[in-house]
Structure 1
Amino acid sequence: MAIRFILSDYVEIAIAFAIYDKLEDGTFTGRIPICKGAIAFALTLRECQDKLRSTLEDWILLGLKLGHSLPIID
C-alpha cells in the first residue's frame, strides 16, 4: 500500500491550475489564481514552474501556521 500525503496532493492539484505568462522582457511569471499571493518570476519557464511550486509550499505552510484556511481547489 502506497503512502499518500494530503498536502502533497493539494500541491499537485493547485499546480495544475497554474497560469504562466511570458513577459515583454522574455522572462516568465507564474501564478495560481485561487491561491492569492502565490506568484513567481524567473528567467525560464522551467525555473518559473519550480519557483512557483516552492512558493506555493511556503504559502501553504505559512497560512497553516497563521491559522488561515486553505482554499478548496478540487
Structure 2
Amino acid sequence: MFAEYIGAALKRAEYISLEDGTFAARVDGLRGVIATGRTVEECREDLIEVIEEWITIRLEKGLDIPAVV
C-alpha cells in the first residue's frame, strides 16, 4: 500500500533548484511534505522518507490520507 501511494506521489512531485545549488521538492496536496537534497536524486530519496513518515504519523493520529491522483 505504501509503495503504491508513494509511487503516485513521486509522479506528482515538484522539484526546484535553490540558490545554493541544492534541490527542494514538494507534493501538491500533501501538506507539510517537503524534502531537500544536494542532488535531485538525493532530494527524491529524502522525499520518499518524508512521505513514509508523513503517512505513519497521519495513521497514528487517525487523520485522513488524501488521495494522490
Runs (4 or more) in structure 1 with deviation over 4 Å come to: none
In structure 1, how many angstroms separate the alpha carbons of the residues matched to 2:20 and 2:3? 33
Give 5+ residue unaligned stretches, structure 1: 1-5
State the superposition RMSD in angstroms.
0.8
Equivalent residue for 1:15, pick from 10, 17, 41: 10
Q: Which has the higher strand share?
A: 2
- How does the TM-score come out when normalised to structure 2? 0.93
Q: What is the percentage of aligned positions where both structures have the same residue?
A: 35
Give 5+ residue unaligned stretches, structure 2: none
Aligned length: 69
| Deviation readout 1:11-62 (Å, 9 max, x if unpaired) | 1111110000001110100111110111011111110000001100100011
